[in-house]
Structure 1
């Protein structure tokens, strides 16, 4: 996962995606990792860029700001979050983080604490946190995998926030939608992911 180039890109500006309407009823900030950052593809092909049009088809006029960076951990996201929320004043913040923590074998407690702090920060700024479920590959061991996966529903219930299903679970069953590394969706998968996310988010966004 390429970190340095993406980080420099993010420091210069966050990629903002507008729907085709002038009036936006709300703003969604996405803070994630390579699964949301358009890893190894033109950024305009990534699902967050395609999301506003799909949301519009669901009857939602949304301004989408994608602040995802390939390689980010929950700790990186926690460090970047306050400035992003202050800058963009979002109504909703989608947290898609934890995969890199899991791939590095970080403690489930550390990941949970970081995500919980992000959720509290978002709430303090009068925005609605939305958490996405993340899973790690089975080769990391059953015990770790269960502990890791359990972080997300536990936080969702404890913090009383929505939990979105992990889109990669559906994509990974389609080999033609995956990159050769077996971890990242390719450009062919992005329209489906955008539609999937729009359907899920439209249930939560006013």
Structure 2
């Protein structure tokens, strides 16, 4: 009888010991979980699809307006990851060709389209430029991105009619696709000849803040802070 009682006492003791270990393990798990921060979603991408004017042509890397844009976003607490997909010499056909892969890889919330100047400087047919820009804008919109179209002017090398029709492409497309528009990218730098490189085409590093200030008023209303997403 005494042996049976000893066994019962031992069993009860083992049960209590196991229960204590389970409670301690559970408490440790809860403590660990309580200290963990919820994973933050990756910042949405802001894709800049441009030419040499956005690709830091002829200036020190890290001084272009797109880099300044990333700095401005941080300063104003807009959490976006700027992806600069600009290439010197890029045309609208090049941008149209590259865009599907860029949309697939980066899934941008916003696409800034700064293309067309090289088409016009080469005298390419305006119908081709317009068609390419249409496909760029519509592809970005179908991917769920907001679009900012950046317009350009060119010298009348191919006649005044060509120059005027080229310039009018941008507001025309912006109206049709209901996207925001920067009418003329170089608007704030044209009066400062000292802000141009010797080729008289590409702005210097000193001009880059002015380029950002030209884009910013149209871009800022498109941005959302984390709490608004």
Query: TM over 0.5: same fold?
Result: yes
Rounded Cα–Cα distance in structure 1 between residues aligned with 2:46 and 2:223: 9
Structure showing greater radius of gyration is 2
Shift in alpha-carbon separation, 1:25–1:202, aligned structure 2, 3 A: farther
Q: Choose which of 72, 76, 84 in structure 1 pairs with 2:94.
A: 76
Q: In 2, are the aligned partners of 1:55 and 1:198 still within 8 Å (CA)? A: no
The SS at the match of 1:110 is helix
Which residue in the other structure is 1:60 paired with? 78
Q: Which moved more, 1:144-153 or 1:193-202?
A: 193-202
TM-score by length of 1: 0.83
Report 1 or 2 for greater relative contact order, CA contacts < 8 Å, sequence distance ≥ 6: 1
The SS at the match of 2:157 is helix
Q: In 1, are the aligned partners of 2:47 and 2:108 still within 8 Å (CA)? A: yes
Rounded Cα–Cα distance in structure 1 between residues aligned with 2:181 and 2:161: 22
The offset of 1:119, in angstroms, is: 1.0
Q: In 2, are the aligned partners of 1:51 and 1:194 still within 8 Å (CA)? A: yes
Q: How does 1:13-32 map to 2 (within 5 A)?
A: 26-32=44-50
Shift in alpha-carbon separation, 1:136–1:120, aligned structure 2, 3 A: same
Which consecutive residues of structure 2, in runs of 5 or more, have no partner in the other structure? 1-39, 225-229
The offset of 1:23, in angstroms, is: 7.6
The offset of 1:167, in angstroms, is: 2.6
The offset of 1:58, in angstroms, is: 4.2
Shift in alpha-carbon separation, 1:161–1:104, aligned structure 2, 3 A: same
1:199 pairs with 2:217: yes
Q: How does 1:26-175 map to 2 (within 5 A)?
A: 26-175=44-193
Q: In 1, are the aligned partners of 2:51 and 2:90 still within 8 Å (CA)? A: yes
Shift in alpha-carbon separation, 1:74–1:63, aligned structure 2, 3 A: same
TM-score by length of 2: 0.75
Which residue in the other structure is 1:11 paired with? none
Which consecutive residues of structure 1, in runs of 5 or more, have no partner in the other structure? 1-21
Which residue in the other structure is 2:10 paired with? none
Q: In 2, are the aligned partners of 1:58 and 1:199 still within 8 Å (CA)? A: no
Q: Which moved more, 1:87-96 or 1:58-67?
A: 58-67
Rounded Cα–Cα distance in structure 1 between residues aligned with 2:143 and 2:211: 28
